[in-house]
Amino acid sequence: MISDQTNVDGVFKNFQYAYTFKDTLIYSNLLSKNFIFSYRDYDKSVDVSWGKEEEMRVTNGLFLNSQRLDLTWNNIISMTSDSTHIIRSFNLSIAFNPTDIIFIDGKVNITLIKENDGKWKIINWIDESNF
């Protein structure tokens, strides 16, 4: 089921829905217009970041090139009292074909913003996965 995102749990439910059904419209609606995604490239010892437009290109490519995506949200590790900053663990399996499956375990370190329409959106995402 698609949530209305008027609570933080709705963001995580819609994220899981978007991945399960490879729905870029739902995924796009999770991200603030000022969204920034960041991760650490350990091979090059640099932090890499991009905005919403690049995030949508990358995610669309993932959705198009995978046969199945299974995302499980685990426990919330930490959360500020106003729910604007959350660290949560997850498990993701990406099946490109029956013999090519990648398993990713990690944490998301996200900052949420409540927009004027009352919906929560992700404004900052720091990926802390094992990939």
pLDDT score recorded for residue 131: 64
- CATH number for 40: 3.10.450.50
pLDDT in tens, 101-114: 999 999 999 999 99
pLDDT in tens, 41-85: 888 999 999 999 999 999 999 999 999 999 999 999 999 999 899
Total domain count for the chain? 1
DSSP readout, 86-105?
EEEEEEEEEEEETTEEEEEE
Nearest by Cα to 90 from 124, 125, 44, 123: 125
pTM for this predicted structure: 0.92
> What is the mean predicted confidence (pLDDT) over 15-26?
97
DSSP conformation class of 68:
E
Q: Would 124 be classed as within a structural domain?
A: no
Domain that holds residue 39: 8-117
Strands 120-129 and 31-41: parallel
Residue 130 has pLDDT above 70, yes or no: no
pLDDT score recorded for residue 1: 76
CB of 103 within 8 A of CB of 93? yes
